[in-house]
Amino acid sequence: MVRSDGSGKRGWQAGCLALACALPGAAWAQTQAVHPLFLPTRDVSVTYSVGAGPGQPAQLTHMYYTTANGGMLRIDTPNGAGFTVLDRAHNSQMLVITAKRIYATMPLPPGTADGFILNDTMTYTREGQQTIAGYGCTSWKVATPGTNGQACVTNDGVLLSGSGGQPGGPQTQLTASVVAYAPQSPGLFTPPPGFKYISQQQMQQMLAPPGGYGGPPPNGMPPGGAPPNGTPPYPPPPPG
């Protein structure tokens, strides 16, 4: 394990209680006496190992969080095919498909979107303490209707491990291997240079089965609809 201190429905959803899931904004500053913090309180990057059960190879994925611009969260797909940026301050999200060099922006549906796995619709039972990747965390039993899991979260809101799935079904596990507290580059949360903007509807069509980019679609993506016009901090869609 590495410690760096600057002073891992389909695989994702059924397994990890959803890697990008609903979090009403009012839950941002709830006390840990009732449940863990849902988001970090300072800039951090985390490397996770994600496994989908016995016999399934683990993959690496990354999460980046910055407190800049009101708080922004980036989640990379385990296969490196793309990433999603959730921007609570501007009520927007951006989906990037790396191989195709494209991105789309869209509003966050009401009541959706800036927790990483955990949210206040879940029930929590505090269990004990662990040390993962060199950092202490509190272990919580987590439950939603039809789904059970566990999570270990630091006192400053960093998820160090999580597991979950439907009772009796396959369980997915993610475990932090590297945690680095340091200011995050603004470029992590904006479209990569040279990537082409496409509409929300075009992105939805591209992600429809049997294709797809190998990760979760944006939270609550509605059918059709236009992307936000120049939602900060992203550049506006090209004219026409």
Q: What CATH number does the domain containing 201 carry?
A: 2.50.20.10
Residue 180's pLDDT is 98
CA 84 to centroid of chain Cα atoms: 7
* Calpha distance 90→101 (Å, rounded): 24
Residue ranges making up the domain that contains 78: 2-25+32-207
Cα–Cα nearest to 186, from 102, 61, 67: 67
Domain-located, residue 235:
no
Domain-located, residue 187:
yes
Domain-located, residue 194:
yes
Residue 113's pLDDT is 40
pLDDT interval class at 26 (50, 70, 90): very low
pLDDT over 90, % of the chain: 43
Domain-located, residue 225:
no
Question: In the predicted model, is pLDDT for residue 106 greater than 70?
Answer: yes
Domain-located, residue 215:
no
* Calpha distance 8→47 (Å, rounded): 7
**CB neighbour list of residue 189: distance below 8 Å, 6 or more residues apart:** 64, 66, 69, 72, 74, 85, 87, 233
pLDDT tens-digit map of 203-220 = 988 887 665 554 443 333
CB-CB contact of 214 with 77 (8 Å): yes
Specify whether the backbone of 187 is left (phi greater than 0), alpha (psi in -120 to 50) or beta. Answer: alpha
Domain-located, residue 86:
yes
**CB neighbour list of residue 30: distance below 8 Å, 6 or more residues apart:** 37, 38, 120
pLDDT interval class at 120 (50, 70, 90): confident
Total domains, the chain: 1
Domain-located, residue 152:
yes
pLDDT interval class at 124 (50, 70, 90): very high
Domain-located, residue 214:
no
